[in-house]
Structure 1
Amino acid sequence: MAETAKPRHIMLVAGETSGDALGGPLMQAMKKLSPVPLTFSGVGGERMLAEGMESVFPMTDIAVMGPKEIIARLPLILKRMRETSNHALETRPDLIVMIDAPEFTHNVARRIARKAPEIPIIDYVAPTVWAWRQGRAKAMAKKFRRVLALLPFEPQFFAAHAGLECVYVGHPAIERVPEEGAGKAFRDRHGIPHEARLLAVLPGSRTNEVNRLTDLFGETLAVLARALPDLHAVVPTVPHVRETVRAKTADWPVRTVLTEGEAEKFAAFDAADAALAASGTVALELGLARVPMVIAYRSDPVTAFAIGRMLKVPSVVLPNLILDRPSIREFLGDHCKPEDLAAALVPLLKETPERKAALADLEEMRAIMGTGGEAPSIRAARAVLDLLPGK
């Protein structure tokens, strides 16, 4: 019986808040599915601690971003790498799950795999090796037994490039879709007429993105407003760039609503007719919310040149990669011009064949990603427990 069975020890390592957000639900799902008791140790944040994690040290010690912060804390980070790998070698868990943060977790996995190759190690969240530096896939095969993928095209890539088993479990964005009726309530709340056209504008969540794109997006709205006099805009934003966005959108030529918070963001998506967004995960969120979109991105010339040389995929837009065709129009670098962005958006803001085709493509993407099925955390838990030795 499960009540008298010997507990199995699973070690998990998350290096940042996004990993903790995956790790907590994963632990909860594993406890639900496992026929035997489980104990957890490793490194985690609040959500993982709440599920019974015994963390070797506070996750905040390694949850750093940006070169300056990493360099300043490098001695501590290297110490925490040693402590994490030593914990695995001392406690000999039945299985290890490394969650995202590859700069930290992959280094720890390499140390453990070298000294204790019998312990299965799983990588949860495949790094974007398919986009650039594809050779890293073979290096991953030397330390990981299985990879859990958030995107449906990743298993085929890892099989072809590294002979590494990869299981598609689904992206957490699948569960972050607008509630029914959220868009109507959003328009009522913000005084946006139901017959008015509403464009969601998303210039990014980093300060440099906001500075590069917000003025461009405002100029695009000026062009659109001449063709669509009833146009309104909504800009979902985050606290650390809120005041910058507020200042830059103050003189936009259409009535603009600024919002904060996940619930308001997804309600805005449900209310919007189309979107103009920076490249990133938001394109996936918009697609899952059935919002036709145009993607634009500018970076500094050196970064743009380097990315252009390294990029191995035909698009930077995730829905295009999932659909394996250029469904969503993207304008990068010098191609980001207000007139061109507006021309691409107008058909999406009207009842046109282009809008109908865009909506059909997004429904296809949703089906490929498995919306409406099992939660990604349940799929991930099953893929992890399947590798427990002697299960």
Structure 2
Amino acid sequence: MLDVNRNGGGERVLKIFLVAGEHSGDALGAKLIAALKKLRPGTIEFGGVGGEEMAREGFHSLFPIEDVAVMGPLSILPKLPRILRRVYQTVDAAIAFAPDAVVIVDSPEFTHPIAKRIRTRAPEIPIIDYVSPSVWAWRPGRAKRMRAYVDHVLALLPFEPDAHVRLGGPACTYVGHPLIEKLDDIQNADGLALARRLGLDATKPVILVLPGSRTSEVERLIDVFGDAVARVSANVPVEVVIPAVRHVRDRILAETANWSPRPHVVDAGTPDKYAAMRLARSALAASGTVTLELALAQTPSVVAYKVDKLIARLRFLLKVPSVVLANLVLGKNVYPEYLQEACTADALANALLPLLSDTSERRAQLLVLAETPQKLRLQSSSPSAAAAETVLSAIANHAAGKSRRAGPT
């Protein structure tokens, strides 16, 4: 019988079905595809759902990733019928593709329902979850439930494998955070060149303001951030720089037009972002992955966040001492955080002011931030290569187990 998984030369074609549900997952998926092709010289056939970055690696998505790239329950509800159609379409396509493995990438609201349905219809297909849900932060029971439909988790944060062991989750391997691949770019960014180009006053310390990458984040934080900066500048004359992602840049420009001092808005998608981090005396940031970037850049910071009232009522479910990723990775609450009603202009300004001069608060942050690269670094390969190695190993182990179960022929 002809083996449909072999090419014309008799070499076995490896088939991997990837599902990314938003743009950050698309970026991870693209790097994973590139690393898989580099590690395995033979032919690999990819299928599934992805975005522009995966497309640059030759990936053909079933539909545009924008159809399902939504965040949070309130954002999902209006688009639920379309998302459900895409879930069932993706499951049908995965079964028809008959892959050696399915790799779901982040976006658990979209990818986990797909994984559950694939497991029900084709339990022989191994399923790998690239990016662990935050089971260590809230709803820890999810970890144990994941074992029914996820065979292996690829973790971005170094404490996550222990968390899955503690919570009874699937096998979990720390493959490294993708930011480590940007460490040289971050630490070698030329802040002084940016200052000259922007015409900044060298006698004034620079405050970096990072109000978030989503429209909802910017809407909730931009005014209070502006008021905090105004209070700081009333005590210490400062320059302000805001790296803005493309889709919220116009909103930020409009909302900060009357700020005093007037901020310099740069493109967050260019090296200017890291140059600004290296230049800044301190930063005021929305909670998120950017706090890890700030920690790698050794930028003393204050972190804040606000969510809608419905989500805020669920804070009692949080099981962590901090919501700031940098704090969790470092194991210390190095960055002060101000959430919901604690996120006031006075509180933020009072936390920022000591970071602008040589104070004990500033020295304490810098001492702990120096540990960040070592906390995230892998001993050998890059994160994308480690992820690819783990995927290939999981496929090989599954095939070996299936062969042993089948016995001699």
Counterpart contact for 2:29–2:105, Cα < 8 Å: yes
Distance 2:90 2:216 in 1: 34
Relative to structure 1, the CA distance from residue 51 to residue 217 in structure 2 (aligned partners, 3 Å threshold; closer, same or farther) is closer
Query: C-alpha distance in 2, partners of 1:68/1:158?
Result: 28
- Find the residue that maps to 1:386 and give its secondary structure: helix
Q: Distance in 1 between matches of 2:229 and 2:338?
A: 16
What residue is the counterpart of 1:359 in the other structure? 366
Name the aligned partner's letter for residue 365 of structure 1.
T
Q: Measure how far apart 1:320 and its partner are.
A: 1.0
Match of 1:52, SS state, is coil
Q: 2:350 is aligned with what amino acid?
A: A
Partner of 1:385: 392
Alpha-carbon distance in structure 2 between the residues aligned to 1:232 and 1:115: 58
> Which amino acid letter does the alignment assign opposite residue 213 of structure 1?
L
Range that drifts further, 175-184 or 343-352: 175-184
Q: Choose from 63, 66, 75 the match for 2:69.
A: 63
Match for residue 316 of structure 1? 323
Q: Which residue of 1 aligns with 2:290?
A: 282
SS of 2:353's equivalent in the other structure is helix
Residue 199 of structure 1 deviates from its aligned partner by 0.6
Q: Percent identity?
A: 47
C-alpha distance 224-277 of structure 1, shift in aligned 2 (>3 A):
same
Deviation at 1:20, TM superposition (A): 1.5
Distance 1:341 1:55, change over 3 A: closer
- Aligned amino acid, residue 119 of structure 1: I
Q: Indicate conservation of the 8 Å contact 1:44/1:59, yes or no.
A: yes
| Secondary structure in 1 matching 2:217 | helix
In the comparison of the two structures, how many residue pairs are matched?
Answer: 388
Aligned equivalent of 2:406: none
Structure 1 residue aligned with 2:236: 228
- Check 1:73–1:335 CA distance in 2 against 1; reply closer, same or farther (3 A cut): closer
Which amino acid in structure 1 is aligned with residue 20 of structure 2? A
Q: Following the alignment from structure 1 to structure 2, what is the Cα–Cα distance between the partners of residues 376 and 225?
A: 41
Alpha-carbon separation, structure 1, partners of 2:260 and 2:64: 47
Asked if 1 retains the 8 angstrom alpha-carbon contact of 2:115 and 2:127, the reply is: yes
The 1:151–1:69 alpha-carbon spacing in structure 2 relative to 1, beyond 3 Å, is closer
Q: 2:3 is matched with which residue?
A: none
Contact 1:169/1:376, CA 8 A, preserved across alignment: yes
* Structure 2 residue corresponding to 1:206, chosen from 210, 214, 217: 214
In structure 1, the partner of 2:255 is 248
Superimposed CA distance per residue, residues 294-314 of structure 1 (whole angstroms, 9 cap, x where no aligned partner): 1122344443222x2221111
Instruction: Give the 3-state SS of the residue equivalent to 1:53 in structure 2.
Output: coil
Q: Residues 342-383 of structure 1: CA distance to partner in whole angstroms, max 9, x if unpaired?
A: 232222211233222212211212211117963321111111
1:21 paired with 2:31, answer: no
Partner residue in 2 for 1:166: 172
Tell me the residue number matched to 1:104: 110
Question: 3-state DSSP class of the match of 2:371?
Answer: helix
User: Does the Cα contact within 8 Å between 2:154 and 2:172 map onto a contact in 1?
Assistant: yes
Q: Distance in 2 between matches of 1:218 and 1:58?
A: 36
Structure 2 counterpart of 1:20, one-letter code:
D
Which one of 265, 282, 296 corresponds to residue 258 of structure 1?
265
Distance 2:333 2:66 in 1: 40
Deviations 1:6-64 (A, max 9, x none): 12111111222222211111011011112533221222223223323343444344334
In angstroms, what is the RMSD of aligned CA positions?
A: 2.5
Structure 1 spans left out of the alignment, 5+ residues: none
| Deviation readout 1:81-127 (Å, 9 max, x if unpaired) | 22322233333211111111212211111112123222211001111
- 8 Å CA contact 2:20, 2:106 repeated in 1: yes
Cα 1:35–1:160 shift into 2, 3 Å:
farther
State the match for 1:77 in structure 2: 83
> Secondary structure, in 3 states, of the residue corresponding to 1:77?
helix
User: What SS does the aligned partner of 2:322 have?
Assistant: coil
Is this contact kept in 2: 1:39–1:52, CA < 8 A?
Answer: no
Q: Which region of structure 1 is more displaced relative to structure 2, 327-336 or 122-131? A: 327-336
In 1, the alpha carbon distance for the partners of 2:392 and 2:203 equals 50
CA contact 1:122–1:384 (8 Å) conserved in 2: yes
TM-score of the two chains, using structure 1 as the length reference: 0.90
8 Å Cα contact 1:94/1:120 also seen in 2: yes
With 342-351 and 50-59 compared, the bigger mean Cα shift is at: 50-59
Q: Deviations over 1:169-226 (max 9, x none)?
A: 1222333443624211110101113443101012223334333322322222233223
Residues 207 and 87 of structure 1, relative CA distance in 2, 3 Å threshold:
closer
- Compared CA separation, residues 373 and 182, structure 1 to 2 (3 A): farther
Instruction: Answer whether contact 1:30 1:378 (CA < 8 A) is retained.
Output: yes
> Equivalent residue of 2:102, what SS?
strand
CA contact (8 A) 2:143 2:164 kept: yes
1:188 matched to which residue of 2? 196
Q: Which residue of 2 aligns with 1:10?
A: 16
Secondary structure, aligned partner of 2:263: strand
Provide, for residues 236-281 of structure 1, a one-character-per-residue CA deviation record: whole Å limited to 9, x for no partner. Answer: 2234433432333233333421122322222211211110112222
Check whether the contact 1:184–1:194 (CA below 8 A) recurs between aligned residues: no
Amino acid at match of 1:332: L
Question: How far did 1:331 drift?
Answer: 1.5
Contact 2:187 2:296 in 1 (8 A): no
